Amino acid sequence: MILSDAPAPAALREISGTGAFLETNARPPLESRVCFHHPEAGAIDARVTAIASDGIRISFAAGIGSMAFALAAIAADMTQG
For residue 30, the tally of other CB atoms under 10 A from its CB is 12
- Number of domains observed in the structure of the chain: 1
Mean pLDDT, residues 42-61: 96
Model confidence at 5, pLDDT cuts 50, 70, 90, reads confident
DSSP single-letter state for residue 17: S
Mean pLDDT, residues 9-25: 95
Collapsed DSSP state (helix, strand, coil) of residue 61: coil
Question: Is pLDDT above 70 for 81?
Answer: no
Q: What is the CATH number of the domain that holds 7?
A: 2.40.10
Expressed as residue numbers, the domain containing 8 is 2-79
Looking at residue 17, what is its pLDDT?
Answer: 93
Q: Please state the pTM of the whole predicted model.
A: 0.89
Question: Is pLDDT above 90 for 58?
Answer: yes
